[in-house]
Amino acid sequence: MNELDIRTPSEAALTDRRNFIRFLAASPVLTPTAMSALVSALAAGVSGEAAAQSYDVLRAPQQKAVDGIITAPEQALNVFDFEPAAKKALPPAHYGYLASGVDGDATLRLNHEAFDEIAIRVRRLIDVRKVDTSVTLFGQTYPTPILLAPVSSQGAFHPEAEAAVARAAKVTGNGVILSTVGSTSIEDVTEARGAPVWYMLYPTDDWSVTEALVKRAEAAGAPAIVLTVDRQGGRNTETLFRFRRDDTRDCKGCHAGGFANEVSRKPMFDDLDVSKVTNLYGTGMTWDFVDRLRKIVKGKLVLKGIVTREDTEIALKHGVDAIIVSNHGGRAEESLEPTIRALPEVVAAANGQIPILIDGGFRRGTDVLKALALGASAVCVGRPYCWGLAAFGEPGVAAVLAILQREFVTIMKQVGATKLSEITKDSVIVRS
C-alpha cells in the first residue's frame, strides 16, 4: 500500500474485489455459471468459494447514518434503506413521481404486503455450498433471475440515468428492460450494459411512430419488444400531486404540456414526426393491435400487464412469446389485486407454453423465491434500484442488486435448492 492510499485494509479489499469482478464481467470467456458464482460472491462480500457463516457484528462497518438515513451504499442492510436516502436526494415532485401509486396507493402497498401470505418451507441436511442462480430467457442466459423493470424518466433521479443503471447491471449480469420514455437511448444503454436489452414499448396512437420505435429498438439488438397494456384507463396519482405541492421549483420548463414537449427530452423520439401523436399509451389498443405488432416484430413479443387467466389464454392465441404479470407497480389501477396473487392463475393458463415473468412489490430475496415457486420464470424489480440510483448513482444501483442477490442465494440454501429448477410449489405454503 502506498502512502497515498488511506483506505483501511477492509475497504481496499472491497474495492479491489469489485474492480476484479467488473474486469471479469467484461470478459467474453466468462461462462454464465461462473458469473452466477461471482454475483453471489459480490453480494456476500466474500470470495467465490463457499465461506463459513459469521455472526461477528464487529466485522460490520460502523459508519453512522445521519438522522437515520444512510450516507453511503455500503451502509444499507436491505433495499428499504435506500428509499429515505432517495427521498432526501430528490426534489419533492421527482420523489413523488417515484413513490406514487394511484388513488390511495393501496394496490402499491398490497403488491409487497401480499408476500406475507406465503410461507417458505425450509429443508435440512442438503449440501448447498454451491448454488447456481442462472436462468435462460429467449436463448440468453443470465446469472440471476432478477431483471430490471422499465422505469421511465430516470434522468429525474440521477444525471447519468439509465446508463448508470446499465453499467451496474453489467457487473452483476442482470437483464435490463428499457422504457420508451427513458432518459437514455437504447443504443447508449446497450453499450453501457455490454449486451442487448429488452425494449418496453409505449406504442402511441400513431402507427408510423410505433413502427419506427420498434425498428430502432431491433436495430440496436433488442431481442424482445415488451408491449405495455396496462395504461389504457388513465390514472389518479394522488401521491405525486401531494408531493408536487411542496416543490418550489418552476416545473413548466420541463412539463409545459403537449406531446411534443413531453417527449422532447426522450431520445427514442429524436428525429421522429410526432405531430399526429396525441397519446403515448395507445388507448384504443385491442387484440387486433397485438396482431398488427406481431407482424412487424422480428424477435420476441412480450405483453406486460396481463393479470388474468382469460387474457393469458387470448394472448397465447395471438402468438405472444411471454407475459409479464404486472399492474405497473401499483401505478395502473386501484384493483387491490397484487401481482403475486394473480401469478398462479396466469401460470396455470399458460401451462408451460411461454415464460411468465412478474413485477410488483419485490423488495426481498424471499419475494423472488416465492414468485419462482409459484411458477414465474424470472422477476422484474423497479423502485428499489431507482432508490439506489437517486441516492448514490451507479454504486447505489449495484448495492441494491447485490443485496437482493445475496438474500435470494441465502433463502435458496435454506430451502435446499441448488438451482432454480429445484424451487417448486413444494417450497412454499400459500395461506388462505
According to DSSP, residue 235 is labeled -
Q: Are 327 and 228 in contact (CB under 8 A)?
A: no
Distance (Å, whole) CA 325 – CA 359? 6
Write down how long the chain is: 432
Is 94 an annotated catalytic residue? Answer: no
Q: How far is CA 116 from the centre of its chain?
A: 21
Edge-to-edge strand order for the sheet containing 198-201?
Answer: 146-148, 378-381, 356-359, 322-325, 300-304, 224-228, 198-201, 177-179
The strand pairing partners of 227, in sequence order, are: 201, 303
Q: Are 142 and 173 in contact (CB under 8 A)?
A: yes
Of 94, 112, 158, 328, the catalytic one is 328
Match 442466459 to its residue by C-alpha cell.
141
Distance (Å, whole) CA 343 – CA 345? 6
Distance (Å, whole) CA 419 – CA 426? 15
- Angle at Cα 46 formed by Cα 41 and Cα 48, nearest 5°? 50
Distance (Å, whole) CA 237 – CA 169? 29
Which of 389, 383, 404 lies closest to 100, judged by CA? Answer: 383
According to DSSP, residue 58 is labeled G
Sequence-separated (6 or more) residues with CB below 8 Å from residue 271: none
Q: Is the dihedral of CA 294, 299, 304, 310 positive or negative?
A: positive
β-strand pairing of 198-201 with 224-228:
parallel
Distance (Å, whole) CA 135 – CA 146? 9
Q: How many CB atoms lie within 10 A of CB 49?
A: 9
Amino acid at 100: S
Q: How many CB atoms lie within 10 A of CB 384?
A: 26
Sequence-separated (6 or more) residues with CB below 8 Å from residue 146: 174, 362, 368, 378, 379, 380, 381, 401, 404, 405, 408
Which of 417, 403, 302 lies closest to 362, judged by CA? Answer: 403
Residues with a catalytic annotation lie at 328
